[in-house]
Structures are given as structure tokens and as C-alpha cells.
Chains A and B, each alone.
Chain A
Amino acid sequence: MSTDMMSKETRDADLGAPVLKIEKLCTWFDTREGTARAVDGVDLELYEGEILGLVGESGSGKSVTGYSVMGLIDPPGRIAGGRILLDGRDLTRLSEEEHRRVRGKDIAMIFQDPSMTLNPTLRIETQMIEAVRAHEACSTAQARRRAKDALDMVGIPSPEERLRAYPFELSGGMRQRVAIAIALLNKPRLIIADEPTTALDVSIQSQIIYELQTLCRETGTAMIWVTHDLAVVAGMADRLAVMYAGRIVEVGTTKEVIEQPGHPYTRGLMGSVPMHETRGRRLARIPGATPSLLHLPQGCSFRERCALADKACTRMPELAQHHQAQSIRCWHPGETDR
């Protein structure tokens, strides 16, 4: 145990201070039926150039986590507690104007559906130039040159023509590349990519994953890659965080989580995704559906769907270290069926 702690500390020393550190983040939605705790005590860390895969079923709170970091939570939602430290600065305490200056400059976000993220009535160049000029006093011509370079960088052919185009004139994959180029425009410290390839064809999906991964490595940009599909991030992320009903239930290096998943939910997720790492292993589909956030069972939120659930599980387990960088929120981590 103590050697495990040591190795974690040496790892921190190697990587320097984290770019992003989320502590006990709570983002709640006050609805008529009650308070939905979409994010409830999430801790995450991210280092320079690192790619973190944030995985979980739909509705587990991944997007809300991303929006919280962006400061884009609208009523009835609110940040009910916790801290979001970007290079040590707590974003939850920023004024609206201070937060605006961070958005799109230090942290950029890429959304799921490229057919919805670009304004249909504005040319690509308008939408790129404004993104530069929102953060820097520079001429339109300078901003346009940066836009063109960014399109070049994400592998868009004849960027000059594309700049003059309207979004509807581009394919889905092309539009998502434009959105990525916009995210890269101001050389952010962190990119939050919220299922950026889910709406795309499989072939384009892997291209874009590869390109984004390369760009992050080259520029040292940290990235949170949000997905409900473990197979998508398994090949690219340095670390994985698995989310369930607003909480992180397992976190560790990709190797640890894929090779020795400790939480029954993670194992279920892997079972429901065909990938070569799980070949030959018994498929453990997750029974039941994501519970409503308003009617979570007492204790472990996964209790009603878990084959290992017992009396101990009526109390909420803590996220506890399991193996080196791997932590698990479960009373019976790593156990198989009894």
C-alpha cells in the first residue's frame, strides 16, 4: 500500500502541477420534481498534454461536468459546491466577464453534433474570426490568417474556399474539423471534447480521433474526451475515468482500467462493447437502465443493477485507491461473481 502511495507521488512530481484540478464538484439542477444531482462530488485531475477519457452511460453527468468547467451551466442548474482549478485559479469564483475570457481562450469545447454547432446563417470565416477577436485585439486580416492556418492544421483541403463557405456546404466530418479548428484557434490549455465523433461515420471517426490525439501531443494541450463508448477512448486516452449517476466510480491509467477493471459497472461497460482486449472474456451485460437521478437507491447508486450487491452496499462507498493510479468506488472492488 505504501509503495503504491509513493509511486503516485513520484508521478505527480514528474508531471508538475495539474492543468485542471476538479475538487468535489457538485452541479445540481433544481427541477419541479426535486433536485437532480447531475454531478455529485466529482474529483478529477489532468496534466499537460494528457488525454483523459471520461466514460459512462448516457445521463451519467459527463456533459454537465464539461459544461461546469466551461461555466456554461444555466438555470435551473447551479454549481452547488466544489472547486474547478485551472492552473491553480478557481473558475467557480470568476465573474461572468472573467469566465468569458477563459472560455475559448484557455479552455475550448467541441460538441457532439457538428450539424448543430455552427451557426447556419454565418460564413465559416465569420465564425472563426470572431473567435479570435473575442480574446485579442487584432485586425480582421490577422484573425483571418490565423483561421486559415487552423483549418490547414486540422487537414482541411483548400481552406481559403472553406472560409467563404456556409456550414451547410460542408460535410459532417468537415464541419467537425472546422469546430476543432475553432477550438485550437487560441491555443487553449485544455480541450473538452464532448462525444465529438459520435455523430460521424466510423472511418471519419478514427481519422478525427487520430488527428486530435496528435495535435494534443504536439501542442501539449490537455484533453478530456467524453464518450459513452469505452472502445473509442481505449486506444487514445492516457487515463480513464468512469462515471455513473453523477459520480466517478473508477479512475486509473487506461492500461489499469482496461486490463483489470475493478468496478462492476466498468466491467459491465466493457462487456457491452466489443473490443479485442475483452475477447475470450465472459460478456457481462449491465442489466437494467440508468436510474433517475431523483430516485437513486440509498447507498451505492449502482446497487440495483449490481450482481455483487450485498448489505454493505446500502452505504455509499468512497473512491479508494485500489492499485497504483487506479481508484475504485466499491465495497467489493475487483471481485468477480460470487
Chain B
Amino acid sequence: MQAFIVNRILQSLIVVLVMTLLVFAGLFVIGDPVQMLVSPDATDIEKEAVRQSLGLDQSFVVQYLSFMRDALHGDLGNSFLTGAPAMDLILKRMPATFELVICAMILATGIGLPLGILAGLRPEARSSKTIMAGSILGFSLPNFWVALVLIMIFAVGLGWVPASGRGETVQIGPIAVSFLTLDGLHHLILPALTLSLTKMALIIRVARAATREVAGQEYIKFARAKGLRKNRIVGVHLLKNIMVPLITVIGLEFGRTAAFAVVTETIFSWPGMGKLLIDSILTLDRPVVVAYLLLMVVFLVFLNLVVDLAYLWLDPAAREKGRD
């Protein structure tokens, strides 16, 4: 088990290293940030001065190595635009995104899992077919379209909830959250619902497939032969086994959404990391983009590890294999 974790951490370090190189090289070729920073009528000498002050006159290798040296000291560079440390900018926006995505995942799992199990237990029932048709819809509708329709109906048409912003927040230590105020909840509901739809559709499908497989297993028949109540069979015997594939999907979807909730955050003007990323890309604010992608890679790699550990916890037989 310990060997497994150490092994995974070493693997993760290599992934992070490769990613820095890719991200850095990618941004190196996509344009000259200096053009965005100086006034259009600046002279070549002025531009050169800016370039030198940002270290952009150096070769790629030198820039990369100096970036890595700073990164190892926890310094991911300063924003070209504001001069503030890139990491601070990102960390300040992180709670808003995480709040949004966690709410979306809770909605997606809380609704998707029971519906998927229901559809899997009685695949021929009409209700099951309706659920599956709904999940196909959830898959195929693009996020921005869903967002706009929800805004039109609930914000513009009915006026129940606001269409943008985070609303009133409550401070918990250094972190500001919306979900503890009524106003914040009102702001949270539409973007969270938008984000949750595709995940819900995915969870329904995975839960259904897993339920169908597990429900046909002999240990479920044996559990019934013991005279267990249906709640116990579904809630313990079935659920624990279908969580094995589901935990992977839920974990990875959570990571993907947190890292790239760009579209939804933009439409709802949700002040999260995704919006910061888009703004930084548009202004070619390279340190922020690099820092962002780097942090997300570390986060995703960490999440993967958590998922694997959860998997081992759920499946004792796999735990045994992992030990060898």
C-alpha cells in the first residue's frame, strides 16, 4: 500500500514536469505579450526595455530554467498585467470555482445516482426509458445553450434568481463562500445546475450499466435468499459494488470541471478561476496561464491519487493485490 502511494507520487512528479515543459513551450510560440502591454505608438526601444524587464529577451531554455528554479521555490512568477504574484491571483479565485463545482457534483450525484440505479434495476420499465432519454439529452445539449435557456426562463422570465455574480458571501477564515447566505444560494443555483447536467447524464449512464451488471450477480441473489429487505440489498450490497466504477467517474469529472469551468463561469460572470484563465489568455498574461495550468495539473494528479485510494478502500480484493 505504501509502496503503491510512493510509486504514484513519483509518477505524478514526472507528469507534472512534462506538463510544465509542454505548457511553457506552447505559450512561447503563441504570440508576443509585449504588444499587449505597451501603448500602440511605443517605440522599438521602449518595447525592448519592457521585453528585457520581463526577461522575454532570453532564449527559451534560459526562460524555462529560470521559471523552474523559481517554481521550485514556490514562486510561479508575477502577472505581466498587474505585477501581482500569479499564484495569489489564482488562489483568490479558487474557492469560488470549487464551491460552484462541488455544488454541481453534489447535484449530479444526488440526482444521477438514484436515477441510474432505478433505470438499471428495471431496464424495461417506461420510467427507465424516460430516464435514459433524458440522459442522452443532458449529454448532447451544449453547456452555453443550457445556461442561456436557464437564464431566460428563471432569471429574465420568472425573475426568481439573478443571472450573474456570486451574491452575498460569508467569510470562513480566508475563504469566502456563497452557499451560506440565501442571496448567495440564489446566485449559485443556476450555474451549478448548468454545470451539473452533463455530469448527471454521465453518472446516470455509468450507474445504470454498473447496476445491471451487479444486480445479475449471484451474491445479490444470495442476499435476497437471506431474506434481506430491498433497501438493504440496494443500499449496501448493490451500492457498494457499483461505487467501484462510479468513484472513478465522479472523481475525474470533478477534477475536469473544476479545472475548466470556463464557459459556465463566463456566462454567469462567476468570479472563479475559469474566468481568470480566459481573461489571462486574452491578454497573453503568460505567467498567470502557466501558473494556472501547473496548479491544475498538480490538483488533477492529486485527485487521481485520492480516487485510487478510494477505490482500494471500496474493493478489499484490489487492496490485497495493491499490497503485492
Seen from chain A, the residues whose Cβ lies within 8 Å of a Cβ on chain B are 70, 72, 100-105, 108-109, 111, 113, 116-122, 130-131, 134-135, 166, 168-169, 179, 182
A-B contact pairs, 28 of them (CB 8 A): A72-B225, A102-B227, A103-B224, A103-B225, A104-B225, A104-B227, A104-B228, A109-B222, A109-B225, A113-B218, A117-B222, A118-B219, A119-B223, A119-B237, A119-B240, A120-B219, A120-B315, A120-B316, A121-B244, A121-B315, A122-B237, A130-B228, A134-B226, A134-B229, A134-B232, A135-B227, A168-B317, A169-B320
CB distance from A239 to the nearest CB of B (A): 24
Check B222–A118 contact: CB distance below 8 A: yes
**Cross-interface CB contact of A168 among B223, B236, B241, B316, cutoff 8 Å:** B316
* A72 in contact with B316 given A105-B227, A121-B241, A131-B226 (CB within 8 Å): no
Contact with A along B206-246 (1 / 0, CB 8 A): 00000000000111011111111100100011001100100
* A131 in contact with B219 given A120-B316, A120-B317, A166-B317 (CB within 8 Å): no
B310 interface hit (Cβ, 8 Å): no
* A179 in contact with B314 given A100-B227, A105-B227, A130-B232 (CB within 8 Å): no
CB distance from B40 to the nearest CB of A (A): 65
Check A119–B228 contact: CB distance below 8 A: no
Check A120–B225 contact: CB distance below 8 A: no
Residues of chain A within 8 A of B226, CB atoms compared: 103-104, 108, 130-131, 134, 182
A130-B240 Cα distance, complex, nearest whole Å? 15
Residues of chain B within 8 A of A179, CB atoms compared: 222
Check A117–B219 contact: CB distance below 8 A: yes
**Cross-interface CB contact of B227 among A103, A121, A122, A169, cutoff 8 Å:** A103
**Cross-interface CB contact of A108 among B225, B241, B315, cutoff 8 Å:** B225
Residues of chain B within 8 A of A131, CB atoms compared: 226-228
Q: Which residue of B lies closest to A97 (CB)?
A: B229
Most chain A beta-carbon neighbours within 10 Å: one of B219, B221, B227, B244: B227
Residues of chain B within 8 A of A119, CB atoms compared: 219, 223, 237, 240-241
Residues of chain A within 8 A of B222, CB atoms compared: 109, 111, 117-118, 179
Residues of chain A within 8 A of B219, CB atoms compared: 116-120
Check B241–A120 contact: CB distance below 8 A: yes
**Cross-interface CB contact of B316 among A102, A108, A121, cutoff 8 Å:** A121
* A134 in contact with B227 given A111-B221, A113-B218, A179-B222 (CB within 8 Å): yes
Check B236–A122 contact: CB distance below 8 A: yes
Task: Given contact pairs A100-B227, A104-B225, A131-B227, enumerate 11 new A-B contacts (beta carbons under 8 Å).
Answer: A101-B227, A102-B227, A104-B226, A117-B219, A119-B219, A119-B241, A120-B219, A121-B244, A130-B226, A134-B226, A168-B316
CB distance from A70 to the nearest CB of B (A): 6
Residues of chain A within 8 A of B314, CB atoms compared: 121
